[in-house]
Structure 1
Amino acid sequence: MEIDLAPTAFFALEDEFVASFFDGCTFVWEAITKIETHTARLAGDKQTILGNVMPGAYLSDRPIFIGEGAVIEPGAYVQGPAYIGAGATVRHGAYVRENVILLPGSGLGHASEAKNALFLPGAHAPHFNYVGDSILGHRVNLGAGTKLSNLGIMSEKDAMTGKRPSIHLTINSQTYDTGLAKMGAILGDDAQSGCNAVLNPGTLIGPRTLVYANLSLRKGHHAADSIIKFRQNPRRVDRI
């Protein structure tokens, strides 16, 4: 059976603004290559501060848009370029690196870092998370300590070109070249991860799927409406 890998298989795109981030994408991961362009489109070449940048928060001098009702808490650092939409939250100790888009109602939490990432409305990475070269769908929630790894440990730069190999995905015996040297995870609408889960480079998670805590999930496609379990078998012995 052929797996649908189009953006519409992962996200509700009835809203024209949200759908614009996926224009021209045959495969969902192609939207990752467009995040930088969309950030520049939305932030422009200046800083627009309509929300609340609290004392102790720090903004670089790069283009940054902060929408009405958005809050940047003390101790957060927004490096940018970045677009932080209406009602979005960047909490204490968060690090917003280059080309991050937080759409309305989304959030990056304490001690969490995002880079080249798109958060659809209501998506949250609230505690000790890393979100690199990734897309979080509507209302996605990452459990505390979840990491979206974006670079394979064996991904070495070519000595001649200085470039890393692109990430390949094998799905239903068909191999796809993503064209991306760095690719984190794509989580469909309402997907969730448990605490300390690691989603390895090139992980695609369908809508409403749950990933158990402490699980290291391999790259590839994981179907919608699933529970991906990690079972431990703890055993008690007498202390001598």
Structure 2
Amino acid sequence: MYTIKDLYDLDHTLAKDYLSQFTYPWEALKGIKDMIIALGETLGDDYEEREPQVWVHKTAKVFDSAYLGAPCIIGPNTEVRQCAFIRGSALVGADCVVGNSAELKNVILFDHVQTPHYNYVGDSILGYFSHMGAGSITSNVKSDKQLVVVHNGTEKIETGLKKFGAMLGDYVEVGCNAVCNPGTVIGRHSNVYPTSCVRGVVPENCIYKNSGEIVEKR
């Protein structure tokens, strides 16, 4: 329930070939920067290289107050709104919204992803049509600074990573002011209640209400 094949339809990202190399999505985090640089060099005339290693599709709308750090790719018809802070190593797909005061760092956003209001997304991969409600964030470093472990019930999966936010499957909805703790994996079509503190693996087609209360959708 937490492999790339389980979580994502790779036809909805420019990172398809890159992600296809891996079994688990967090294995792709270390190479996102290099992948974006290599991919950017192959983009056609529909993209403008506005600064070195900053590629923006000609149909994208980037507000003047937004910051685009290298390397990054901004896809077709995407909006990067006021005061958005893209720190770098961000692949943002088509028809996405990076909202006011949202911050992205070392991420892949599939097509139609929305992070529209005051979101922090770091060291994470957000699947097709996933959405983060206002104020929801991915926490990408443990408070004890130890390596992140993915917890699936009694199963513990060592990732070897110090920085690992969240893997959101396709069509995931994260409610307002929710926190996805380091190593969170949320299956396709699942919902997270507002103000939740999420950790571990949430199966697909479920509703995460709070710790210990995950119910299947009807």
CA distance in 2, matches of 1:183, 1:9: 19
1:83–1:16 distance in 2 versus 1, CA, 3 Å: closer
Match of 1:151 in 2: 141
Match of 2:208 in 1: 228
Q: Secondary structure at the match of 2:10?
A: coil
Return the letter of the residue paired with 2:38: R
Task: Give the structure-2-normalised TM-score.
Answer: 0.88
Shift in Å, 1:18: 4.6
Shift in Å, 1:82: 0.4
Shift in Å, 1:97: 0.8
Shift in Å, 1:154: 1.3
CA distance in 2, matches of 1:15, 1:109: 21
Gaps of 5+ in 2: 212-218
Q: Secondary structure at the match of 2:161?
A: coil
CA distance in 1, matches of 2:36, 2:11: 21
Task: Give the structure-1-normalised TM-score.
Answer: 0.81
Return the letter of the residue paired with 2:138: L
Gaps of 5+ in 1: 54-58, 156-164, 232-240
Return the letter of the residue paired with 1:43: G
Alignment of 1:101-116 (within 5 A): 101-116=91-106
Most deviating of 123-132 and 30-39: 30-39
Q: Which of 54, 70, 87 pairs up with 1:80? A: 70
Alignment of 1:1-240 (within 5 A): 4-14=1-11, 17-44=14-41, 50=47, 61-155=51-145, 165-218=146-199, 220-230=200-210
CA contact (8 A) 1:122 1:138 kept: yes
Percent sequence identity over aligned pairs: 30
1:113–1:5 distance in 2 versus 1, CA, 3 Å: same
Shift in Å, 1:172: 4.0
Q: Deviations over 1:54-109 (max 9, x none)?
A: xxxxx7x4411101311101210111210111111111110011100001111211
Q: For CA contacts below 8 A with separation 6 or more, give which structure has more relative contact order.
A: 2
CA distance in 1, matches of 2:113, 2:90: 13
1:126–1:177 distance in 2 versus 1, CA, 3 Å: same
Return the letter of the residue paired with 1:22: L
Q: Secondary structure at the match of 1:154?
A: coil
Return the letter of the residue paired with 2:101: A
Q: How many residues align?
A: 210
Most deviating of 183-192 and 7-16: 7-16
Q: CA RMSD in A?
A: 2.4
CA distance in 2, matches of 1:30, 1:98: 19
Q: Secondary structure at the match of 1:32?
A: helix
CA contact (8 A) 1:213 1:230 kept: no
Shift in Å, 1:12: 1.4
CA contact (8 A) 2:166 2:183 kept: yes
Return the letter of the residue paired with 1:72: V
CA contact (8 A) 2:59 2:76 kept: yes
Higher Cα Rg, which structure: 1
